[in-house]
């Protein structure tokens, strides 16, 4: 437990160092103000940008910077395991990403005075953010250079994020929505939209499938992308006798 807390603390400090904390706070205030003073703007769009795009861009960049500086881990005596790194990287990023949703819930409840299950919204947001943090980490791992990482951002946003956002705003016919099931952002959007609507208007099978597939996608990324990377990284340190 001490090692886990130490690693999370280390990541939080590096978020301050890279100004990631300041960026998240800034966007939280900005998006919260937009949500409060421009009620005509669909709140789901703001939540989508926060849950789908911010984690992917911010935390993939953070891991890439750590990797280039050789400061991914402050482990001693070989106490780190790949799963420990996976847990702490995800947990530290999630802690930071909780800041925006707390702002939004306050605005939705106090300013917009809407009656929905904010507990359900919170947990739907958390699930979405965790999946997209893992996507961000995966993009950082498979991108050999910053240029490739930037290109992967664009591809991910255009292919996996814009479709669900367009659909949520009525720009894509309903009959095409099932082609978006491959997108984690669409799956998250199904849950969040139903919660914000205050009623379950989607078929129950689609809601259940959206939850299950998010867990499946997260498990696949952890097992086949992130875990092998951290294992190779740790093995390299052990061979050098650094941990």
Three-class secondary structure assignment of the chain: CHHHHHHHHHHHHHHHHCCHHHHHHHHHHHHHHHHHHCCCCCHHHHHHHHHHHHHHHHHHHHHHHHHHHCCCCCCCCCCCCHHHHHHHHHHHHHHHHHHHHHHHHHHHHHHCCCCCCHHHHHHHHHHHHHHHHHHHHHHHHHCCCHHHHHHHHHHHHHHHHHHHHHHHCCCCCHHHHHHHCCCHHHHHHHHHHHHHHCCCCCCHHHHHHHHHHHHHHHHHHHHHHHHHHHHHHHHHHHHHCCC
Q: Is the dihedral of CA 127, 13, 135, 161 positive or negative?
A: positive
Report yes or no: 39 and 33 within 8 Å, Cβ to Cβ: no
Which tens digit of pLDDT belongs to each residue from 33-88? 999 999 889 999 999 999 998 888 777 766 666 666 655 555 554 567 888 888 98
Q: Which residue has the higher pLDDT, 208 or 64?
A: 208
Which tens digit of pLDDT belongs to each residue from 173-186? 887 888 888 999 99
Instruction: Supply angle C-alpha 237, 242, 243, rounded to 5.
Output: 80
Using a cut of 0.85, tell me whether the model's pTM lies above it.
yes
User: Can you give the pLDDT at residue 232?
Assistant: 84
Q: Which residue has the higher pLDDT, 80 or 165?
A: 165
Q: Which residue has the higher pLDDT, 195 or 168?
A: 195
**Band (168; pLDDT cuts 50, 70, 90):** confident
Residues 96-104 have a mean pLDDT of 95
User: Can you give the pLDDT at residue 18?
Assistant: 81
Percent of the chain with pLDDT over 70: 89
How crowded is the C-beta side of 146, counted as CA atoms within 13 Å? 9
Average pLDDT over the chain reads 86
User: Can you give the pLDDT at residue 77?
Assistant: 47
User: Can you give the pLDDT at residue 78?
Assistant: 54
**Band (22; pLDDT cuts 50, 70, 90):** very high
Q: Where are the domains of the chain?
A: 2-240
Residues 191-212 have a mean pLDDT of 94
User: Can you give the pLDDT at residue 183?
Assistant: 92
């Amino acid at each position: 437990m001490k090692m886990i807390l130490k690693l999370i603390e280390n990541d939080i400090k590096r978020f301050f160092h890279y100004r990631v904390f300041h960026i998240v706070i800034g966007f939280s205030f900005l998006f919260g103000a937009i949500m409060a003073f421009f009620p005509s703007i669909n709140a789901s769009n703001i939540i989508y940008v926060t849950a789908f795009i911010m984690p992917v861009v911010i935390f993939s960049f953070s891991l890439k910077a750590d990797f280039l500086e050789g400061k991914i881990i402050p482990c001693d005596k070989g106490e780190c395991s790949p799963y420990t790194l996976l847990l702490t990287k995800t947990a530290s990023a999630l802690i930071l990403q909780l800041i925006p949703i707390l702002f939004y819930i306050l605005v939705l409840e106090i300013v917009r005075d809407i009656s929905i299950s904010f507990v359900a919204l919170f947990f739907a947001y958390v699930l979405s953010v965790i999946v997209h943090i893992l996507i961000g980490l995966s993009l950082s791992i498979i991108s050999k250079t910053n240029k490739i990482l930037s290109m992967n951002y664009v591809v991910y946003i255009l292919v996996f994020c814009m479709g669900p956002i367009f659909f949520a705003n009525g720009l894509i016919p309903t009959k095409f929505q099932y082609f978006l099931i491959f997108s984690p952002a669409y799956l998250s959007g199904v849950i969040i939209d139903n919660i914000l609507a205050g009623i379950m208007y989607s078929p129950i099978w689609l809601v259940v499938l959206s939850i299950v597939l998010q867990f499946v996608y997260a498990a696949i990324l952890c097992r086949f992308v992130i875990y092998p990377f951290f294992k190779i990284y740790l093995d390299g340190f052990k061979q050098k006798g650094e941990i």
